[in-house]
Amino acid sequence: MKPSRAILVCCAALALALAWVIRIGFPELGETRIPQGQSASFSGMELRLERLSPVESLPPGFEGGDPNLPVPGAVYLVAEFSLAGDPEPNSSCWAYLAGEGRGWNETFQSLPSGFYQRCGDAPSGQVTKVFEVPKRALGEVGGVWISFSKTDGEPEAEVQAADRVFFEAAGPLG
Amino acid sequence: MSALSQLLHELWLLLARFTKIPRTVWGSLAVAMTASWVAYFGSILIAGEVIVAMPWLLIGCLSLGLVAQLSAVIYALRTLLGGGAKFGDALAETMLPFLSVYWAFGFVDGIIHNVMDVINARFGFFYFADTINSMNPLSSPVVLVGVIAVLVASFVLRRWLEWRYDKTGRNVVGLASAVVEAVFLFLLGISGFRIVSWVMLWLGDRNLASWLDQALAWIKAAIHIDFPEFLAAGWEAVGVPLANMVFLPIAWLALAGVVAGVKAPKLAELWGAERSQLGSLRKALLAVVDAVYNDIDDKVLPFVYSLRRVFQAGWPFLGGYVLLFHMLHWLGGSLDGWIATLITLSGSNPLLLMPLGGLLDQVVITGLQLLLLAAAFQRVEELRLAKAPSPTPGWLNALLVGAVLAAVACAQSLTTGFGGASRAAVGEVVKVGRSEVGVSDARMGDEVVIGQDAEHSDQLFVVVRLSVFNAYPANSVTLSLSAGGSDYAPWDGISYYRSLPGFRSSCDVVFEVERSALAGGASIRAESAGYAAEFALGELAPVASVTANVLIEEVAP
């Protein structure tokens, strides 16, 4: 074995370890980060995170929001977005709450009437995404990932284009 | 010398060879295994990046990772064996058996689960589910045509690359050919099964299926044996343990034989003539085989002949080698378990430390395994050249060695089970892979009440309370009930259970079990990511009616 090969492999191993720690430990590094209160745009729509805060119960009117109380030990985290612009047909967006090495998909959402598939094909208005998270995990929540996508419009349609942005929480939640 | 003492002698010889490995070889081995580790986790990391841009690139990433791993294994084995087949030839000849071994023994599942963990943690479970769905060839005609086109194109490209490799002998062309072959096999494995499922469903709706059901029912009535059930139970009881205990180590040794350059004849030679001299029927048959799978000469026969060479070494040697192989894996499994426990106790993100655990498994344990393979194959060759006749008949040797392996397997199963299952009692919560699983409140009755509905059966309903907790995204847990030599899936057809990170999910799971099967007791088996736990149900007294709450209840402890 030539020493140069051994050095090369050692360098590759160190590079992998570093890349792993960065990508898994700090997934939002190098991604598009939008501070709370600023807008991200995709496929004709503009989305802005207005508020991210925990609540103990939900008001009526949420899609599937019954019961309106979280399970024991958990809390609802409400992300309020404002939507502007004129989204193209079959475009959509969905949310994922970012913790440390883990995350939570949206549990409920409140959409303006006429909404199709989470965000797209809708008039402007307010979109509220609700996450149910363990109370003990509130301190690790750093923000919300929003995945925008555009499909060919069929059921189980192929995603034609996708984009992700990270909406940063204004401050610590827990 | 009896077969048993021969077995111990062979085991001792193999152990002694470890001490004679030159120090320079250790260095090369460590470098090769580290490169393999980089390839494995590098491909997982890159797969997590590219899947956002284009899900299909996942297959390319995993293929590149596997070929890089195989290249490192071949390089290490060639170093240990002191030569052997040309690198490109060994790569071409071992790709198919290597992937087959990887697929059959759950290594491919392992890498896919690891990719799933990375994607789940970064993007959420729905994203991964959406992504996998978008790769379903039955989801749209465009995807179906695309999959078929890529399969055909990769087949043709590989044939062209192999032709170029035969002409030029350049390793880089051999590597490219292996990558294309891996893409072909991965695509076939990931997408092909959906097409097969669709065909099976389609066939299930045809008259042919009902004729077959009637024929099986008639056979069952005539001989009082449910033949498919009997075969499934037999495979579960004998086939799976035998495959894990014996076939896996022997398949690895045969792969080492291919790398060592075991010569195999061509198919035409086996039929007793050169291809030009073959009869028209044989020639036509060979042409069909060539068209569908021209790799028989290059990929199947070398492995088959290497396997034959391994078996020729005799039962005592095989017994000693298989025992040593499992001792090594038991050591690896134990260290892996301790590291997982340490990570859990420290409260660290297991995904962040995943490569650290892999370092032990893929560098240390796999490196030792390659040393064992090289030593074992050298011993195979020594035994072949010595051609010493065994003082005891072959069947007696086989019987004795089989008995020793069965005793070891039983001893192993008493503590951990064949598949590495830990034992637990009802009411306990145990770790299964990365999940904490509890089974409690077991009861059984002639009738089960679910919500407003009461279900009756000639058999018995067994109901248990299942709880699953995951602090971090983890693989799902599957549940089955074992009784009377048969395995029963949950009655409602739900095949897996999971919890969101930080939540504990609980629900009642119902099994419908033959009354006679419960006479000898029953156990619940929970499996996740290759780990398993068995909860012994103990004595249960049947009651007239039991209530089951199958709705999932969550708490955040």
List pLDDT tens digits, range A79-113.
888 887 776 766 777 788 888 878 888 776 555 43
* Residue A10 to chain B, least CA–CA distance (Å): 8
With a pLDDT cut of 70, the percent of chain B lying above it is 81
pLDDT above 80 (res A149):
no
pLDDT above 80 (res B222):
no
On whether the CB atoms of residues A65 and A130 are closer than 8 A, the answer is yes
pLDDT above 80 (res A120):
no
What integer pLDDT is reported at residue B1 of this predicted model? 58
The residue among B117 and A7 whose pLDDT is bigger is A7
Which residues of chain A are at the B interface, by a Cβ-Cβ cutoff of 8 Å?
1, 5-6, 9-10, 12-13, 16-17, 19-21, 23-25, 27, 71-74, 94, 96, 99-105, 132-137, 145, 147, 152, 154, 156-159, 162, 164
pLDDT above 70 (res B137):
yes
pLDDT above 70 (res B237):
no
pLDDT above 80 (res B240):
no
* Residue A68 to chain B, least CA–CA distance (Å): 14
CA distance B112 to B123: 16
Query: Mutation test of the interface with chain B: which of A4, A8, A16, choosing the one with the most B Cβ atoms within 10 A?
Result: A16
pLDDT above 50 (res B280):
yes
What integer pLDDT is reported at residue B451 of this predicted model? 83
Quickly state the pLDDT bin for B339 (edges 50, 70, 90). confident
* CATH class as words, domain B421-555: mainly beta
Average pLDDT over residues B183-198: 77
Count how many pairs of residues, chain A against chain B, have C-beta atoms within 8 Å: 125
* Residue B35 to chain A, least CA–CA distance (Å): 6
If contacts are CB pairs under 8 Å, which of residues 36-55 in chain B contact chain A?
37-38, 41-42, 45, 48-49, 52
Side-chain-facing half-sphere of B38: CA atoms under 13 Å: 21
From residue B174, how far is each of B85, B95, B181, B386, B515 by CA, in Å?
13, 11, 10, 36, 59
SS3 track for chain A: CCHHHHHHHHHHHHHHHHHHHHHHHCCCCCCCEEECCCEEEECCEEEEEEEEEEECCCCCCCECCCCCCCCCCEEEEEEEEEEEECCCCCEEEEEEEECCCCEEECCEEECCCCCCHHHCCCCCEEEEEEEEEEHHHHHHCCEEEEEEEEECCCCCCCEEEEEEEEEECCCCCC
* Pick from B178-192, B364-378, B436-450, B492-506: least confident: B178-192
Cα-to-chain-centroid distance, residue B151 = 24
Residues of chain B found within 8 Å of residue A12, distances taken between Cβ atoms: 35, 38, 42
- Let me know if B51 is exposed, middle or buried by CB neighbors in 10 A (0-12, 13-18, 19+): buried
What integer pLDDT is reported at residue B85 of this predicted model? 65
3-state class (DSSP) for residue B539 = coil
Quickly state the pLDDT bin for B421 (edges 50, 70, 90). low
Closest by CA to B543, choosing from B440, B447, B439, is: B447
The answer to whether B35 contacts A12, with C-beta atoms less than 8 Å apart, is: yes
Per-residue pLDDT reduced to its tens digit, A5-46:
888 889 999 999 999 988 888 877 777 888 888 888 877 778
Listed by start position, the domains of chain B span 3-386, 421-555
Listed by start position, the domains of chain A span 1-30, 32-168
* Residue A160 to chain B, least CA–CA distance (Å): 9
What integer pLDDT is reported at residue A113 of this predicted model? 38
- Which helix H or strand E contains B454, and what residues bound it? strand B453-470
The answer to whether A24 contacts B127, with C-beta atoms less than 8 Å apart, is: no
- B543-548 and B435-450: which strand pairing? parallel
Q: In what order do the strands lie in the sheet with A159-168?
A: A33-35, A159-168, A143-151, A91-98, A103-105
Instruction: Say whether residue B5 is in contact with chain A using an 8 A CB cutoff.
Output: no
Residues of chain A found within 8 Å of residue B79, distances taken between Cβ atoms: 1
> Which phi and psi angles does B473 have, rounded to 5°?
-55, 135
* Residue B236 to chain A, least CA–CA distance (Å): 36
The residue among B420 and A102 whose pLDDT is bigger is A102
pLDDT above 80 (res B124):
no
From residue B386, how far is each of A147, B2, B110, B380 by CA, in Å?
67, 18, 41, 10
The answer to whether A73 contacts B556, with C-beta atoms less than 8 Å apart, is: yes
In chain A, the residue whose alpha carbon lies closest to the alpha carbon of B137 is A158
**ipTM score of complex:** 0.81
What is A32-168's CATH topology? Immunoglobulin-like (2.60.40)
The residue among B10 and B417 whose pLDDT is bigger is B10
What integer pLDDT is reported at residue B392 of this predicted model? 59
Q: Transcribe B358-403 into DSSP letters.
A: HIIIIIIIHHHHHHHHHHHHHHHHHHHHH-PPPSS-HHHHHHHHHH
If contacts are CB pairs under 8 Å, which of residues 290-349 in chain B contact chain A?
349
> Which residue of A24, A71, A102 is in closest CB contact with B556?
A71
Residues of chain A found within 8 Å of residue B555, distances taken between Cβ atoms: 71-74
Residues of chain B found within 8 Å of residue A102, distances taken between Cβ atoms: 121, 349, 471-473, 501-502
The residue among B226 and B180 whose pLDDT is bigger is B180
* Residue B330 to chain A, least CA–CA distance (Å): 27
- Let me know if B315 is exposed, middle or buried by CB neighbors in 10 A (0-12, 13-18, 19+): buried
Quickly state the pLDDT bin for A117 (edges 50, 70, 90). very low
Residues of chain B found within 8 Å of residue A10, distances taken between Cβ atoms: 34
pLDDT above 60 (res A64):
no
What integer pLDDT is reported at residue A60 of this predicted model? 67
Residues of chain A found within 8 Å of residue B48, distances taken between Cβ atoms: 23
What integer pLDDT is reported at residue B112 of this predicted model? 78
The answer to whether B48 contacts A23, with C-beta atoms less than 8 Å apart, is: yes
pLDDT above 70 (res B490):
yes
Residues of chain A found within 8 Å of residue B143, distances taken between Cβ atoms: 158
Cα-to-chain-centroid distance, residue B188 = 17
Closest by CA to B335, choosing from B343, B346, B323, is: B343
Mean pLDDT (chain B, rounded): 79
What integer pLDDT is reported at residue B496 of this predicted model? 82
What integer pLDDT is reported at residue B53 of this predicted model? 73
The residue among B361 and B294 whose pLDDT is bigger is B361
pLDDT above 90 (res B467):
yes
If contacts are CB pairs under 8 Å, which of residues 117-176 in chain B contact chain A?
118, 121-127, 130, 133-134, 136, 139-140, 142-143
Quickly state the pLDDT bin for B418 (edges 50, 70, 90). very low
With a pLDDT cut of 90, the percent of chain B lying above it is 6
Residues of chain B found within 8 Å of residue A96, distances taken between Cβ atoms: 123-124, 126-127
* Pick from A8-22, B203-217, B268-282, B369-383: least confident: B268-282
The answer to whether A72 contacts B555, with C-beta atoms less than 8 Å apart, is: yes
What integer pLDDT is reported at residue A14 of this predicted model? 93
The answer to whether A156 contacts B139, with C-beta atoms less than 8 Å apart, is: yes
